[in-house]
Amino acid sequence: MKLFTVGPVEMYDSTLEVRSKQLPYFRTDFFSKLMLENEEMLKKALYTDKSSKAIFLTGSGTSAMDAVVGQCLSNEKALVIDGGSFGHRFVELCEFYGVEYESIHLDTNETLTVNHLQEYQNHDFTCMLVNMHETSTGQLYDIKMLSEFCIKKEMALIVDAISAFLCDEIKMDEMHIDCLITSSQKALSLAPGLSMIVVNDDFYQKFIKNKKAKSYYLDLNAHLKNMERGQTPFTPAVGVCYEVHDMLEKVLNKGVEQVIADKKCLANYFRENIKKLGIEVVDCPLSNALTPLYFKDGGAKALYENLKDKYDIYLTPCGGINADKIVRVGHMGNLCIDDYDDLINKIREVL
């Protein structure tokens, strides 16, 4: 089996080794130390200041989105970038919790530009919700452009970077990102089950400290209180916490910039070579996390099915109106040039 998916993805050997061990009891000094190191390493990998805080939630990425919208955004007004199914999830969460919002809707393959923002220049918002890489379409948004808008309007910038973290450059403080969400099974290449929220002190003071949780389980203040001593209110996904430690240690040893440069190299290699087969790549700013292949006259679904049935190779299909037009090829996880050479050969055979 080979996964060119967007999560879970091909795990690294060291992760598989960590996963194979007996899980320890977790209300111990040893586990507290591991969690505090996870927090430090995560903040370092995101280039954020010591005064920022990390929260570890046990749940898939949506649990973190849910906690942030439900608790942080009560009595706020959000501008949501609704450019695909993950952007739309923020819209649905605002609806669900009765958060006041307006949204910028993007059509398939429509690039977000400053013109989209201009329309909202004179509307009042207290924050923006955006998925840095809209994984459902492959579009990578220009965070600098968005943060300039947020600074001008004194809005907090809340970024879901679940598939962008470690694939695309993120410097939280430099980019003026106030709250960042990520989770274990995408670019981190770990098992599903753990989500992380990193917030700067400003965001904590304004959007968390005095806000009542809508969910008993996901109360961010309870999580932050426990995290002061490296603990969580309830049993966390203990094994994934160990995987995070192993992965972040390796990432920081190699250097975050190098990790991202390697991903970029892999994505570019695939894009150059797939175009030689006459296959189109969706034309918008792309993340290094995946390449969306565009079949104008259909055939994306058959390609996905054939690779799966004949070779046990998994690409990532699309839903909705693009189900037969777009198929996504992931670059996250333990994949190398040889894997893409093999994939391109198999695609050539199947077509």
Looking at 162, 260, 284, 315, which residue binds ligand PLP (CB under 6 A)? Answer: 162
Interactions with ligand PLP, residue window 67-126 (CB under 6 A): 86
Q: How far is the CB of 83 from ligand PLP (least distance, A)?
A: 10
Residue 351: name the closest of 274, 270, 268 by CA. 274
Q: How far is CA 42 from CA 68, 128, 247, 297, 300, in A?
A: 18, 23, 10, 43, 37
Stretch of 159-167, 224-232, 243-251, 279-287 contacting ligand PLP, by CB under 6 A: 159-167
Q: How far is the CB of 183 from ligand PLP (least distance, A)?
A: 5
Looking at 183, 287, 288, 322, which residue binds ligand PLP (CB under 6 A)? Answer: 183
Rank residues 156 and 190 by Cβ distance to ligand PLP and give the closer one.
190
For residue 7, state whether it binds ligand PLP (rule: CB under 6 A): yes
Please report which helix (H) or strand (E) contains residue 294, including its range. Answer: strand 290-294
Rank residues 42 and 180 by Cβ distance to ligand PLP and give the closer one.
180
Q: Tell me the per-residue interface mask from 51 to 70 with ligand PLP, x by CB under 6 A, - otherwise.
A: ---------xxx--------
For residue 193, state whether it binds ligand PLP (rule: CB under 6 A): no
Stretch of 156-164, 214-222, 254-262, 279-287 contacting ligand PLP, by CB under 6 A: 156-164
Q: 3-state DSSP helix/strand/coil percent for the chain, to nearest 5?
A: 40, 20, 40
Q: How far is the CB of 24 from ligand PLP (least distance, A)?
A: 26
Identity of the residue numbered 66: D
Separation of CA 229 from chain center: 27
Q: How far is CA 59 from CA 56, 236, 237, 348, in A?
A: 9, 9, 8, 39
Interactions with ligand PLP, residue window 226-265 (CB under 6 A): none
Helix axis angle, 337-350 relative to 300-311, nearest 10°?
Answer: 110
Rank residues 163 and 322 by Cβ distance to ligand PLP and give the closer one.
163
- Dihedrals φ, ψ of 259, to 5°? -60, -45
Rank residues 89 and 211 by Cβ distance to ligand PLP and give the closer one.
89
Q: Assign residue 349 a region: left if phi > 0, alpha if psi is -120 to 50, beta otherwise?
A: alpha
For residue 186, state whether it binds ligand PLP (rule: CB under 6 A): yes
Q: Which residues pair with 281 in a beta bridge?
A: 293
- Which residue ranges make up the site for ligand PLP (CB under 6 A)? 7, 60-62, 86, 131, 135, 160, 162-163, 183, 186
